[in-house]
Amino acid sequence: REMKKEGTLKEIKKDLIKKVSSLNLNILLAEDNPVNQKVILLMLKKMNLSARVANNGKDVLKMLKRSDSDYDLILMDVRMPELDGIKTTKIIRDPESGIKQKKIPIIALTALAMQEDAKRCLKAGMDKYLTKPIHPEEIIEAIAGIFKV
């Protein structure tokens, strides 16, 4: 009986992955740690998703300011050198920043699991909050929630 229940859950996950991957999202991954970059990119690849990488907040802003910038979503590490995820998000959301994609969905990725950290991320303008280590189902559910699939 348990086996059947789990099989159904797997089918739901497969269906969700299919729906999310069919959105053909242009994802920007903001992550300074090369190991985390590889892990997250591999995780996305297994779900038929891909991303361009920015090593810090300054790179994110540069990439968003390009005239051909057409990102649909940012996976944003909170702790990065030069410009962290919180400050980067505040700049993106700021009407004066010169970034045209003000409302781009941003999912926070952080090793900080305290309630205060979640509040800081959401207060800065991030849409969702995931704690590292990130699991594939968390990413897919967060994306599905944002894009309502």
Q: How many CB atoms lie within 10 A of CB 137?
A: 13
pTM of the predicted model as reported, rounded to 2 decimal places: 0.90
Residues in CB range of 84: below 8 A, 6 or more apart = 57, 78
What CATH number is attached to the domain comprising 117? 3.40.50.2300
pLDDT in tens, the chain (149 residues): 444 445 566 777 889 999 999 999 999 999 999 999 999 999 999 889 999 999 999 999 999 998 888 999 999 999 999 999 999 999 999 999 989 899 999 999 988 767 778 889 999 999 999 998 888 889 999 999 999 99
Give the torsion sign (CA, 68, 104, 44, 22).
negative
109 phi and psi, to 5 degrees? -120, 120
d(CA 39, CA 33): 10
> What is the pLDDT at residue 1?
44
Q: Which domain holds residue 42?
A: 2-147
* Total structural domains within the chain: 1
